[in-house]
Amino acid sequence: MSGVALIMHPECLAHETGEWHPEKPERLQAIWDALQAASLPPNVSWLTPAPATVPRILRVHQPRLIDEIRTMAARGGGMIGLDTVVSRRSFDAALIAAGGTIQAVETAWDTPDRRTFALVRPPGHHATPDTAMGFCLFNNVAVATRVLLEEKGARRVAIVDFDVHHGNGTQDAFIDDPRVLFCSLHQFPLYPGTGRAEEIGEGSARGLTVNLPLPPGCGDVAYRAAFDRVVEPVLRRFQPEIIVASAGFDAHWADPLAHMRLSTSGFVELARSLDRLATELCGGRLALSLEGGYDLGALASSVVAVIMALAGETPQDLLGPPPGGALENVDPLLDHVRGLHGL
């Protein structure tokens, strides 16, 4: 049985966003507390990341953005846009979040029998090469993917983003990069407003951006169908050497920021799918990095359940199925996306 490496660092708690803000340190604290309370099997191990170096952040981001965040933090903090907070230690926390995701992909790359999960914040997938937005400062998954491509010799990386919001920043970073398949499942319409099915990539990467703009209300059955009919076939066609997941848990039915109806068991099924695909296509190389998830109970129990499943255990679903059920049939959308991508 393969193992799971969890990557955590207390500096991620030092990114202080204020009591009112949904992306708060208590999110990670809830995950850590739930992991302490769980009986994790012996094949789950822990790693402590180093901060990402600025040259590595520069593999995705403009120098101006790095300077803006560093300067704002050094002055005691401020806001970028209406929703993205920089506190005194946010620059350091953001470097650790990116460094943790780099460690996750490097560990998965070097030891394919270990799945990895970077339990970090601030999240990353909304941050574009030149703009911090949507609670995200640096794009952790994009930076880590560039490290794989430019330092580890990777030629084909698949990114699967199941956060309920569209990963616009990751899409922007790789929109014309034929080495990266970017596949996003998200509620549409919803923040940030991008991620239409017709956004399919540009130039030599045309067809390598795969967007599944799902209607509100989708539950486990709809997500299962999206994986079966779109995610799995596009990954098989692309033949990645590693799968990197932007693992957001805000599609849970209890989440306050969106309107999807996934259960904890649904997240476990998604993780098992990615695990099977990693085994089938890339020798077991699978790295996850935490994105959103704003109901503390649903977030913590879903993260623990996913880790248990990746470790080969049978997880519990403490919150159960969505009260009132969920939208199950999204075949017209899936047919449309399959048509756009020649599936």
Count of residues of this chain found to bind Zn ion when the rule CB under 5 A is applied: 5
Closer residue to Zn ion, CB minimum distance, 199 or 250: 250
Examine residue 248 and tell whether it contacts Zn ion (CB under 5 A): yes
Cβ neighbours for 59, distance < 8 A, ≥ 6 positions apart: 143, 146, 147, 150
Give catalytic residue positions.
126
Among 250, 255, 269, 313, binds Zn ion (CB under 5 A): 250
CB of 261 to Zn ion, least distance (A): 15
Q: Which stretch binds Zn ion (CB under 5 A): 218-226, 243-251, 273-281, 325-333?
A: 243-251
- Report 145-164 residues binding Zn ion (CB under 5 A): 163
CB of 124 to Zn ion, least distance (A): 11
Examine residue 315 and tell whether it contacts Zn ion (CB under 5 A): no
- 127-130, long-range: CB < 8 A, 24+ apart: 127/61, 127/169, 128/168, 128/169, 128/172, 128/173, 129/60, 129/61, 129/62, 129/65, 129/169, 129/172, 129/173, 130/61, 130/62, 130/64, 130/65
Q: Which stretch binds Zn ion (CB under 5 A): 35-43, 142-150, 245-253, 319-327?
A: 245-253
Tell me the two tokens of residue 288.
Answer: 């996850």
In the block, residue with structure tokens 């394919």: 112
Closer residue to Zn ion, CB minimum distance, 83 or 92: 83
- Rounded Cα distance, 286 and 188, in Å: 27
- Where do the DSSP E strands lie in 68-120? 77-80, 84-87, 114-118
Closer residue to Zn ion, CB minimum distance, 121 or 165: 165
Among 114, 146, 165, 179, binds Zn ion (CB under 5 A): 165
- Binding to Zn ion by CB under 5 A, coded x per residue (else -) over 292-311, reads x-------------------
CB of 292 to Zn ion, least distance (A): 3
- Rounded Cα distance, 222 and 28, in Å: 28
152: exposed, middle or buried (Cβ count in 10 Å: 0-12, 13-18, 19+) = middle
The CA radius of gyration of the chain, in Å to the nearest whole number, is: 18
Q: Which stretch binds Zn ion (CB under 5 A): 29-37, 174-182, 211-219, 249-257?
A: 249-257
Q: Which stretch binds Zn ion (CB under 5 A): 4-12, 49-57, 87-95, 247-255?
A: 247-255
In the block, residue with structure tokens 């309920």: 164
CB of 302 to Zn ion, least distance (A): 13
Containing H/E element for 212? strand 209-214
CB of 291 to Zn ion, least distance (A): 6
CB of 58 to Zn ion, least distance (A): 25
- Rounded Cα distance, 133 and 126, in Å: 6
Site of interaction with Zn ion (CB under 5 A): 163, 165, 248, 250, 292
